[in-house]
Amino acid sequence: MSSDAPQPIQSPKAAADSLAAILGGALPDSLAAADDPAPALLHDDGVARAVAGRLRGAGSGAGHDALCGWLYGTFQSGIPALQLAVLRFVPTLAGVYMSRAVSRKPLAGFEAVILTLYAHAVAQRGAGEAETVALPNMANPSVYHEAVKPAAAAAAAAAKPAKAADPDPDVVAELSPALEPHGTMRATRRARIVGAVLELYHGKLALMPLSSKMDFCEFCVAWSGKHGNDKPRGASASARSPEGGEEKWRRVPLPWELFQPVLRIVGHCLLGPANSDELRTQAARAAQCLYLRAMETMDARAVLACRSLIRLSQMVEEPIPEPSFNAVEANMADLEAMRANILSAKN
């Protein structure tokens, strides 16, 4: 796909027309008649099912795959709305690619799209720049409380001249290591590249439709090799393409550089603002499967993160009891009776 890479698409209308030609059928009226078809490309369920079905179909992802060429050219257009429409298919793209890559199948079309998404992530963050977060240093005194010093320490401090103490610096934790530019896909860097693409998807997750998040949770179950219990499964999920072919998605290696962004997305689906019980159920199943996988590999970071996520989801599901004022009213009645007795005794 590198020698005859498709030219970037210049407008949302051109993207819609090109996709209609690839799918071999008329697009929905809401998309065909729209002045700006980019939002419909992102949210239309019919288009999403057709594209996802082609990506899951047998033979997809090859170097001559026209749909991969459309995804590549659409994202290269640089139009934010069209880039969102491409990111909407990252769960299916990454899920099918990782499941097939363990079989060493040629997937030049998938790799071209994933590498262009990775290059965008590198450019967005900056090469060599890690994603970090500053954690407060608990050794520093709180601004809301006065630190109590022992008497001996207080006397020694009073004897010395007053000097402003510099607080200890905050602890800097690394969320994502630095990204380096890569023009080719290798097995040794596959997890890092796909993980960075998932981080890019996570950054736009609030704008993604429900079906995209459901697809991701489905592939998480397949990647883990589990099925919500302690029995490993070599192929945890399957899908039927529109052409009638069926493929089972395989268990894949999950190093921390891939496991962490996966868990962050599952956490958003589980605890985020989406009002969908179906999504929460699917995300809870994915979290449980990932936890079983982490327990199998004995990765301490993954075990702690999964267990914390599952516990948080259980806390959210627990109903909050309504406050009761019966005891307060009873105490007030007792106080009023005591007050009346005291006043009567004085009189």
Q: Taking a C-beta distance cutoff of 8 angstroms, is the pair 67, 51 a contact? A: yes
SS3 37: coil
Instruction: Select, from the ranges 165-174, 182-191, 260-269, 322-331, the one with the highest average predicted confidence (pLDDT).
Output: 260-269
- Length of the chain (residues): 347
Whether pLDDT at 240 is above 70:
no
Of 120, 231, 125, 105, give the one whose Cα is nearest residue 178.
125
Cα distances (angstroms) measured from residue 103 to each of 6, 98, 110, 264, 297: 27, 9, 14, 27, 21
Question: Residue 174's pLDDT band (boundaries 50, 70, 90)?
Answer: confident
SS3 172: strand
Asked which of 15-24, 103-112, 176-185, 316-325 is least confident by mean pLDDT, the reply is 316-325
Residue 45, amino acid: D
pLDDT, tens digit, 9 for 90 and up, residues 41-97: 888 888 899 999 999 988 888 888 899 999 999 999 888 999 999 999 999 999 999
pLDDT value at position 158?
59
* Distance between first and last Cα of the chain: 102
SS3 238: strand
Provide the token pair at 280: 């929460």
Q: Taking a C-beta distance cutoff of 8 angstroms, is the pair 282, 218 a contact? A: yes
Q: Taking a C-beta distance cutoff of 8 angstroms, is the pair 14, 206 a contact? A: no
User: Helices (H) and strands (E) in the chain — how many of each?
Assistant: 15, 4
Residue 12 CB contacts under 8 Å (≥ 6 apart), including other chains: 36, 37, 38, 41, 79, 81, 82
What is the pTM (predicted TM-score) of this model? 0.76
Sign of the C-alpha dihedral computed for residues 257, 263, 265 and 267 taken in this order:
negative
Residue 176: strand pairing partners: 131
Of 206, 346, 232, 209, give the one whose Cα is nearest residue 289.
232
More confident site: 230 or 252? 252
Residue 241: is it exposed, middle or buried by C-beta count within 10 angstroms (0-12/13-18/19+)?
A: middle
Beta strands in the chain (DSSP E): 131-135, 171-176, 235-240, 246-250
pLDDT, tens digit, 9 for 90 and up, residues 176-235: 777 888 888 888 899 999 999 999 999 999 999 999 999 999 999 999 987 655 444 444
pLDDT value at position 247?
65
